[in-house]
Amino acid sequence: MTTEKTVWNLSRPFIERPVATTLLTLGVALSGVLGYFGLPVSALPQIDTPTISVSANLPGASPETMASTVAAPLERTLGRIAGVNEITSSSSLGSTRVTLQFDLTRDIDGAARDVQAGINAARALLPTALPSNPTWRKLNPADAPIMVIAMTSDTIPLGDLYDIASTVVAQKLSQLSGVGQANPGGGSLPAVRVELDPVALAHEGISPEQVRASIAQTNVDRPKGVVESGDKRWQVLANDQAHTASDYIPTIISYSKGAAVRVGDVATVVDSVQDTRNAGLANGVPAILIQVMRQPNANTVETVQRIRDVLPQIRAAIPAAAKLDVMVDATVSIKGSLREVERTLLLAVLLVVLTTWLFLGDWRASLVPVIAVPVSLLATFGVIYLLHFSLNIFSLMALTVATGFVVDDAVVVLENSVRHVENGMPPREAAFRGAREVGFTVVAMSLSLIAVFTPILFMPGLQGRLFREFGITLSVAVLA
C-alpha cells in the first residue's frame, strides 16, 4: 500500500508577495520623486480668470465722446457673447478700454475668437475717423508680477531710460523661458512737446490746427521727385524728419505782414516725454519699473532664477550710467512659506514615529510609518504632477493634514499585527493576517474621509478653483 503525501509550499507566496510589494513601492516612490522635481512652484494654485481687454483710440476725442461713440457700441456688441460675466469700460482723452470677464469654464481662446468677431461687427457703428480697428489682448487679473526691476541713472534722462528699458531690457527678459511679459512703466518714450501760447496765436490769427498741420508736413520722409536729363535720371531725396526741439522751432506756419510766423513764435518747444504724468519711484529716486509676469504653469522659482542669471548680461548691454536693481522678488515669500510648510510636514512625521514607538515599545514597529508616510506622499506628488497642479500652500497643507490620516491607517494595521506577534505568531504571517483582518475597515475609513472632502471638488466659482487642489491632493494621499 502506497501512501501519497502532499506537501504545501507555504513559503513561496510569502516570498513572492514581499518582493512584488517592494518593487511596487519603489516604483511608486520613484515616480513621486520624478513628479516632485517636475512640479511648478507658486504661492497659490494657478487660477486663470478668462479676461480680455479691448482698446480703441481716437486722437483728440474727449472722454465723453469716447464713451458715447466708441465704448457704448463696443459694449452693446460684445455683451452678446456667451459666457460674459462682467463688462467694464473706462474712457479718457482719446482712448477707451473695455474689459470682459468670462465664466471660469469658458475657454479663453474661444472667447478671443468671439471678441474678434464682435469687434468686426461693431466696426460699422464706430466713428469713421477711428484710425484703426480696436485691438484686444488676454489678461489674467489674478496673476501678480513675480519680479519688479528698477532702472535708475544719475545722468541719463528718464525718457532715454524708458527707451532702453523697452527696447533692450524688456526684450531680453521676454525671451526667457517661463516669462510671459516684461512691461516697463513709470515713464514713457522721448518726445518733443509743443506748448502753444493762446495769446500769441490770437495775435497772429493762427489756429492750433494750422500749427499741427505745419508740424506734420515738416516731419515727413518722402522722395521729393526726380530730375531727368537725356538718358540720365536722378532721384531727389531729403530727410525732413525732426528729432529734437531745435528742429521744430524754425518751422514756418504761415506768413503775416510779409514776415514768416514760426513755431517758436507762438509756442514753447522742449525736449520731453510723451506722458509727463507717468512717473515711477524706487527708494525715493525717479526710476523706470519693469514688471515681469510669468507664463501659466511656469515654475516661479526657476523663472526668477533664470532672470537673476541673465541680469549680469543685461547690465553689460546697457550704458554704464544705468543701474538695474531688483525691488520685488515674489520667490522670497514663496520660499519662506513652502519652507515653513515642509518643516511642519517633517516635524509631523517625526512626532508620529515617536508616538508610535512610545505606545508600541518596538523600534522596528515605529519604522513602519517612516516608510508608509513618505511613500504615500511621494505617490501623491506623481499624481498631482499628472493633474498639472503645483507645489503651493494649499497642496502642501493638504499633505500635512493627510499625514495624520495616513499614519492612522498604518497604525491600525500595525497594532493588529503586533498583537498577533505577541500571541506567538511569526512576524510575516502576523503581518498578512493583521492586514487581512482590518483591511476592509481601513478601506472604509479612507473612503469615508475622501467622501467628506468630495464636496470641495464641486464648489463653483473662484473658491472652488482655489480649494480644488487641496481636496484632490488630500484624497490622493489618503488613497495612496
pLDDT tens-digit series, residues 415-470: 788 788 878 888 788 888 888 888 788 888 888 878 887 787 777 766 777 788 88
Helices (H), 88-140: 108-122
Each residue of 159-169: pLDDT tens digit?
Answer: 889 989 988 99
pLDDT given for residue 385 in this prediction = 84
pLDDT at 149 over 90: yes
Each residue of 38-50: pLDDT tens digit?
Answer: 777 777 777 767 8
Share of the chain above pLDDT 70, in %: 92
Query: pLDDT grade, residue 6 (50/70/90)?
Result: very low
Residue 454: HSE in the Cβ half-sphere, 13 Å Cα cutoff: 7
The average pLDDT across 115-134 equals: 87
Residues 6+ apart with CB under 8 A from 336: none
pLDDT at 320 over 50: yes
The average pLDDT across 346-355 equals: 77
> How confident is the prediction for the chain on average, in pLDDT?
81
- Give the chain's count of helices (H) and strands (E): 16, 16
Nine cell digits for residue 249: 522751432
Are 303 and 177 spatial neighbours (Cβ–Cβ below 8 Å)?
yes
pLDDT at 313 over 90: yes
Nine cell digits for residue 388: 498639472
Helix, strand, coil tally for the chain in percent (to 5): 55, 20, 25
pLDDT given for residue 150 in this prediction = 92
Distance (Å, rounded) from C-alpha 311 to C-alpha 106? Answer: 38
346: nearest Cα among 403, 411, 410? 403
pLDDT at 130 over 80: yes
pLDDT given for residue 15 in this prediction = 44
Are 286 and 280 spatial neighbours (Cβ–Cβ below 8 Å)?
yes
Each residue of 16-28: pLDDT tens digit?
Answer: 556 777 778 788 7
Bigger pLDDT: 364 vs 69 = 69
The average pLDDT across 212-220 equals: 79
Bigger pLDDT: 404 vs 227 = 227
Bigger pLDDT: 141 vs 97 = 97
Query: pLDDT grade, residue 296 (50/70/90)?
Result: low
pLDDT given for residue 3 in this prediction = 47
The average pLDDT across 61-76 equals: 90
* CATH code for residues 48-141: 3.30.70.1430
Whole-prediction pTM value?
A: 0.63
The average pLDDT across 88-92 equals: 90
Distance (Å, rounded) from C-alpha 30 to C-alpha 22? Answer: 12
pLDDT at 342 over 70: yes
Distance (Å, rounded) from C-alpha 269 to C-alpha 427? Answer: 94
Name residue 171's amino acid: Q
Distance (Å, rounded) from C-alpha 39 to C-alpha 21? Answer: 27
Bigger pLDDT: 225 vs 89 = 89
* CATH code for residues 191-221+235-273: 3.30.2090.10
Long-range pairs for 160-165: beta carbons < 8 A, 24 or more residues apart: 160/190, 161/187, 161/287, 161/288, 161/322, 162/186, 162/187, 162/188, 162/189, 162/190, 162/273, 162/288, 163/189, 163/190, 164/318, 164/319, 164/322, 165/288, 165/290
Distance (Å, rounded) from C-alpha 115 to C-alpha 81? Answer: 8
pLDDT given for residue 97 in this prediction = 92
Q: What angle do CA 431, 433, 437 make, to 5 degrees?
A: 120
Query: pLDDT grade, residue 309 (50/70/90)?
Result: very high
pLDDT at 370 over 60: yes
In the chain, where the domains are located: 23-44+333-479, 48-141, 191-221+235-273
Is domain 23-44+333-479 annotated with CATH 1.20.1640.10?
A: yes
The average pLDDT across 129-134 equals: 84
pLDDT given for residue 192 in this prediction = 87
Are 4 and 419 spatial neighbours (Cβ–Cβ below 8 Å)?
no
pLDDT given for residue 315 in this prediction = 92
Query: pLDDT grade, residue 151 (50/70/90)?
Result: very high
The average pLDDT across 372-399 equals: 81
pLDDT at 294 over 60: yes
Q: What angle do CA 367, 373, 379 make, to 5 degrees?
A: 135
pLDDT given for residue 279 in this prediction = 81
338: nearest Cα among 392, 388, 400, 398? 392
Least confident of 107-111, 184-188, 337-341: 337-341
Share of the chain above pLDDT 90, in %: 10
Write down how long the chain is: 480
pLDDT at 5 over 60: no
